[in-house]
């Protein structure tokens, strides 16, 4: 289930091109909110997701304001998302998710 929530975010990052900053930001925000609604938040999870959002927002700004996106910006996003994925391996469903029978 968590992979389904992250998939659009990852796809948006990988498919992003110049001028797509708003799209990347919107997809990341949607995925981020979906995760927050489904998992029991811990400090490690929260920090990793916030870092991934911040790196994605940096990428979005570069997509909208530069002619090319520096490789280090894309690397930073991939690294932050990888850290979030690692933290999500220990995630547990929150009460609402359990009540809906959507555990993993």
Cα gap 60→79, rounded to integer Å? 16
Run of H or E including 63: helix 43-65
Closest by CA position to 14, among listed 50, 59, 67, 47: 59
pLDDT score for 97: 85
pLDDT tens column, 76-89 = 999 999 999 999 99
Contacts 24+ apart (CB under 8 A), 70-74: 74/13
Residue 2 has pLDDT above 90, yes or no: no
pLDDT score for 8: 95
């Amino acid at each position: 289930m968590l992979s389904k929530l992250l998939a659009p975010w990852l796809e948006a990052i990988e498919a992003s091109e110049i001028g797509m900053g708003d799209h990347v930001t919107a997809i990341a925000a949607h995925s981020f909110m979906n995760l927050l609604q489904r998992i029991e938040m811990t400090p490690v999870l929260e920090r990793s997701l916030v870092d991934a959002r911040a790196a994605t927002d940096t990428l979005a700004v570069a997509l909208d304001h530069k002619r090319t996106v520096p490789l280090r910006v894309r690397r930073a996003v991939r690294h932050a998302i990888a850290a979030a994925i690692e933290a999500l391996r220990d995630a547990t469903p929150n009460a609402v998710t359990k009540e809906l029978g959507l555990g993993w």
